[in-house]
Amino acid sequence: MSKKFLSLEKVEKRFPISANEDYVAVTDVNLEIRENEIIAIIGHSGCGKSTLLNMISGLDAQTSGAIVLENKHIDGPGPDRAVVFQNHSLLPWLSVYQNIEMAVKKVMPELSASELRERVERYVSMVNLDHAKDKLPDEISGGMKQRVGIARALSITPKVLLMDEPFGALDSLTRANLQEHLMRIQQKVKNTVVIITHDIDEAVLLSDRVIMMTNGPDATIGEILEVNLQRPRNRVELQSDPEYIRCREAILSFLYEKFAKDDE
């Protein structure tokens, strides 16, 4: 459990704003993520948490520092780090089935036609969408779309699953439902997951560790909180669990006392 898996060393991201001035979005981020660990990154908007995730995914390059996955430096995106985007990013002209098939076909070209179909159908079932597999994204609900996004990301067996506020655009009941889906799937596939969120309950419920970011500019890791809760977790029982309450309070105090944001 303590094997070196994904590490961020002195990671910094600057954006040039004029010829001789840079905006430092995040700086000096050092983090070791263990295999099969679920990490939540939380912070106020503008704390660079999405920037951090984009650097791990390789969609955005860090200005300095290193991001290393299993002894390999990350330079550019790849299917070993699948991303679940906030707005699902399904291709609207492809059905649920075809959206997943497109990803599997590209990443696992060696599969035979029957292996391919078997695999796509397995992941469609994993998110309970068998009944909707031939529907177009526009014909299904937002929560279902996001489930397809998760299935598509997992279908290529990534080493790390990166989720950028995956449930942020959903109503709270749908969000709870998807969190349950994610926890159930995670019990089975045991991926390493990095999830960006601004929801304290979501962070505690889902993760093994919560990374709390300070406010930007020059955002960095403020505190790291270990969540010592047994799995499977039950959201109703957790409400009275002392460890859950302790974690919630720790995050609350970090976000609203130490690093309160008064603008906006």
In the complex, the smallest distance separating the C-beta of residue 78 from another protein, rounded to whole angstroms, is 6
Q: How far is the CB of 246 from another protein (least distance, A)?
A: 37
Closest contact distance (angstroms) between CB of 252 and another protein is: 32
Q: Which residues, other chains included, contact 68 with Cβ-Cβ below 8 Å and sequence gap of 6+?
A: 6, 7, 9, 74
CB of 60 to another protein, least distance (A): 10
* Subset of residues 12 to 31 that bind another protein, contact rule: CB under 8 A: none
Q: Which is nearer to another protein, 63 or 87 (CB)?
A: 87
242 near another protein (CB under 8 A) = no
From the list 205, 201, 216, 204, the residue with the least C-alpha distance to 43 is 216
Residue 182 interacts with another protein (CB under 8 A): yes or no: no
Beta bridge partners of 23: 15
Q: At what angle do helices 113-126 and 142-155 cross, to 10 degrees?
A: 140
Based on the shown chain and the rule CB under 8 A, indicate whether residue 78 belongs to the binding site for another protein: yes
* Residue 72: both structure tokens together: 């390999």
61 binds another protein (CB under 8 A): no
136 binds another protein (CB under 8 A): yes
Size of the residue set binding another protein (CB under 8 A): 25
Mapped to the 3 state alphabet, what secondary structure does 153-176 carry? HHHCCCCEEEEECCCCCCCHHHHH
Residue 109 binds another protein (CB under 8 A): no
32 φ, ψ (degrees, to nearest 5): -110, 120
Closest to 69 measured CA to CA, from 149, 4, 158? 4
Among 27, 50, 51, 57, contact with another protein (rule: CB under 8 A) = 57
Q: Which residues contact 112 (CB under 8 A, 6 or more apart)?
A: none
Is 103 an interacting residue with respect to another protein (CB under 8 A)?
A: yes
Closer Cβ to another protein, 153 or 212, answer by number = 153
Angle at 234 between CA 86 and CA 151, to 5 degrees: 35
In the list 59, 111, 116, 169, the residue contacting another protein (rule: CB under 8 A) is 59
93 binds another protein (CB under 8 A): yes
Q: What count of residues does the chain have? A: 264
Sole binder of another protein in the list 30, 45, 64, 89 (CB under 8 A): 89
Q: Is 156 in the site for another protein (CB under 8 A)?
A: yes
Name the phi and psi angles at 21, rounded to 5.
-140, 135
Applying CB under 8 A, which of residues 82, 132, 194, 203 lies at the interface with another protein? 82
Dig out the tokens for 172 from the structure.
């709270």
Closer CB to another protein, 44 or 88, in the complex: 88
Q: How far apart are CA 235 and CA 183, in angstroms?
A: 11
Q: Which residues in this chain contact another protein in the complex, by CB under 8 A?
A: 57-59, 76-79, 81-83, 85, 87, 89, 91-93, 95, 102-103, 106-107, 134, 136, 139, 156
